[in-house]
C-alpha cells in the first residue's frame, strides 16, 4: 500500500488530542519549553520597507541614492574606522557565535521533541544529557548546510554586484547588468537545495537518527535505500500538504497574536499557546515516516486512551524535567 499523508494527518490529530487534552498545566509548560527549544532559529526573516534619503519620489534615481548613501557612510567613517572596524568585526564574531549556539540548542531540542511526541513524555534534563551524540550529528549537518548555503549565496551576490556595478554606476541597463541579474537567479536553486535537505533532515533523518541510534550518514542510507524507493510521489504530496498547513498555521498564529495583544507572539509564550499545532506537525511527519515503512511508535490501540508511563516504564510520561 502506498504511503498516505491523509492517514498520517488523521493519526497525528488523534495523537495530539490525546497527548494534550484534558489540559495538564505542567505538561504544557514543559512541552512548550521543548517545542520552543526545537524551533529556535527557525523564524523567517522580516521584510522591511526602507526609504532612502532622496528616493525616487524626490526625483533621484535609486542608483544615485545608493551611491550618495555609500559616499555619506564613507565620509562619516573616514576618521572613525580605527575603532569602528574592530567593533564591526567583534559584532560579527559575537553574532556568529550566538547563531551557532542557538543552532546547537535547537538541534538538541528537536531530538527532545521527537522523543516527547513518540513516548508522550515531557522530561528535559535526563534526555538532554542522553541525546548528546545524536543531537551532535544533527547539529553538524545543519551547520554545514548553513555555512555552505551562506557562502554560496554571498559568492553569487558578490559576483553579480561586481559584474553589474559598471552599468549600475553609469545608470544604464546594459549587458553587464543583465548578466548580473541572471546570475542572481542562482540563489534560487541554492535556497531550494538547502530547504529540501533541511526539511528531509527535520522530518525523516533526525527521527531515524533517534530511533536507530545511527549516524546521519546511516540515517540517510536507510532513507535512500528503504524508504524513498517507490514513495517519491507520496513524499512530494507530503510536502505540498506541509506547505498548505504552514499557511494555515501562519494564519492561526497571526490571529492568536491579535487576540492576545501580541502576547502570543512572544517566543516561549507562542510555543505554549500553539503547542497543539507544534505537536500535531511533529506527529504528522512521524506518522508519515511510519507510512513510508519505518516503525516509529510502539504498538498501541488508536481507539482507546493511552499513557506514556504505562507503555514505557523507563520514561516519565507524566513527570516533569
Cis peptide before 222, with omega less than 30 degrees from 0? no
Is residue 287 a contact partner of residue 8, using CB atoms and an 8 Å limit?
A: yes
Query: How does residue 81 score in pLDDT terms, banded at 50, 70 and 90?
Result: low
Please indicate, yes or no, if residue 150 is contained in any of the structural domains.
yes
pLDDT at position 77 is: 64
Average pLDDT estimate for 110-130: 94
Rounded CA separation 193/200 (Å): 11
Q: Does pLDDT of 176 surpass 90?
A: no
Query: How does residue 62 score in pLDDT terms, banded at 50, 70 and 90?
Result: low
pLDDT at position 105 is: 95
Helix (H), strand (E) at residue 217: helix 216-222
Please indicate, yes or no, if residue 321 is contained in any of the structural domains.
no
pLDDT at position 74 is: 65
Average pLDDT estimate for 207-222: 94
- The domain of 227 spans 5-41+85-297
Query: How does residue 304 score in pLDDT terms, banded at 50, 70 and 90?
Result: very low
Please indicate, yes or no, if residue 164 is contained in any of the structural domains.
yes
Domains identified in the chain, total number: 1
Q: Does pLDDT of 190 surpass 60?
A: yes
Is residue 222 a contact partner of residue 208, using CB atoms and an 8 Å limit?
A: yes
CB atoms within 10 A of CB 3: 20
Q: Minimal CA–CA distance to 146: which of 99, 110, 112, 109? A: 99
Please indicate, yes or no, if residue 64 is contained in any of the structural domains.
no
Is residue 129 a contact partner of residue 174, using CB atoms and an 8 Å limit?
A: no
Query: How does residue 297 score in pLDDT terms, banded at 50, 70 and 90?
Result: very high
Say what percent of the chain tops pLDDT 90.
Answer: 61
Q: Does pLDDT of 37 surpass 70?
A: yes
Please indicate, yes or no, if residue 222 is contained in any of the structural domains.
yes
Which position has the higher pLDDT, 235 or 81?
A: 235
Query: How far is CA 20 from each of CA 94, 280, 315, rounded to the nearest angstrom?
Result: 39, 10, 17
Please indicate, yes or no, if residue 62 is contained in any of the structural domains.
no
Which position has the higher pLDDT, 313 or 213?
A: 213
Please indicate, yes or no, if residue 67 is contained in any of the structural domains.
no
Q: Minimal CA–CA distance to 241: which of 8, 43, 42? A: 8
Query: How does residue 320 score in pLDDT terms, banded at 50, 70 and 90?
Result: very low
Rounded CA separation 200/220 (Å): 9
Question: Average pLDDT over the chain, rounded to whole?
Answer: 83
Rounded CA separation 108/127 (Å): 9
Q: Does pLDDT of 194 surpass 80?
A: yes
Query: How does residue 63 score in pLDDT terms, banded at 50, 70 and 90?
Result: low
Q: Does pLDDT of 197 surpass 80?
A: yes
Which position has the higher pLDDT, 17 or 78?
A: 17
Average pLDDT estimate for 147-175: 88
pLDDT at position 66 is: 64
Q: Does pLDDT of 115 surpass 80?
A: yes
Model's pTM, two decimal places? Answer: 0.80
Helix/strand/coil for 40: coil
- Flag the least confident range among 46-55, 110-119, 129-138, 273-282: 46-55
Average pLDDT estimate for 15-31: 94
Please indicate, yes or no, if residue 52 is contained in any of the structural domains.
no
Query: How does residue 300 score in pLDDT terms, banded at 50, 70 and 90?
Result: low
Q: Does pLDDT of 188 surpass 70?
A: yes
Longest CA pairwise span in the chain (Å):
74
Query: How does residue 57 score in pLDDT terms, banded at 50, 70 and 90?
Result: very low
Amino acid at each position: 500500500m502506498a504511503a498516505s499523508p491523509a492517514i498520517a494527518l488523521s493519526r497525528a490529530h488523534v495523537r495530539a488530542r490525546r497527548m494534550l487534552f484534558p489540559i495538564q498545566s505542567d505538561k504544557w509548560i514543559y512541552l512548550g519549553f521543548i517545542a520552543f527549544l526545537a524551533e529556535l532559529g527557525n523564524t523567517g526573516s522580516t521584510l522591511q520597507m526602507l526609504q532612502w534619503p532622496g528616493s525616487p519620489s524626490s526625483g533621484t534615481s535609486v542608483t544615485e541614492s545608493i551611491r550618495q548613501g555609500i559616499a555619506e557612510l564613507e565620509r562619516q567613517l573616514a576618521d572613525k574606522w580605527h575603532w569602528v572596524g574592530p567593533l564591526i568585526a567583534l559584532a560579527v564574531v559575537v553574532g556568529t557565535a550566538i547563531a551557532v549556539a542557538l543552532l546547537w540548542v535547537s538541534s538538541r531540542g528537536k531530538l527532545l521533541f521527537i522523543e516527547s511526541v513518540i513516548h508522550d513524555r515531557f522530561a528535559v534534563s535526563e534526555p538532554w544529557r542522553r541525546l548528546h551524540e545524536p543531537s551532535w550529528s544533527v547539529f553538524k549537518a545543519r551547520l554545514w548546510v548553513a555555512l555552505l548555503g551562506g557562502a554560496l549565496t554571498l559568492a553569487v551576490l558578490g559576483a553579480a554586484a561586481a559584474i553589474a556595478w559598471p552599468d549600475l554606476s553609469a545608470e544604464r541597463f546594459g549587458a553587464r547588468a543583465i548578466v548580473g541579474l541572471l546570475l542572481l537567479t542562482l540563489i534560487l536553486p541554492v535556497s531550494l537545495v538547502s530547504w529540501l535537505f533541511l526539511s528531509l533532515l527535520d522530518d525523516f533523518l533526525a527521527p531515524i537518527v533517534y530511533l536507530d541510534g545511527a549516524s546521519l550518514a546511516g540515517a540517510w542510507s536507510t532513507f535512500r535505500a528503504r524508504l524513498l524507493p517507490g514513495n517519491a510521489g507520496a513524499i512530494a504530496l507530503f510536502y505540498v500538504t506541509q506547505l498548505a498547513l504552514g499557511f494555515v498555521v501562519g494564519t492561526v498564529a497571526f490571529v492568536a497574536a491579535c487576540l492576545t495583544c501580541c502576547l502570543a507572539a512572544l517566543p516561549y509564550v507562542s510555543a505554549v499557546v500553539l503547542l497543539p499545532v507544534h505537536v500535531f506537525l511533529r506527529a504528522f511527519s512521524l506518522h508519515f515516516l511510519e507510512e513510508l515503512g519505518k516503525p516509529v511508535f510502539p504498538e498501541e490501540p488508536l481507539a482507546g486512551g493511552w499513557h506514556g508511563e504505562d507503555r514505557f516504564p523507563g520514561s516519565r510520561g507524566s513527570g516533569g524535567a
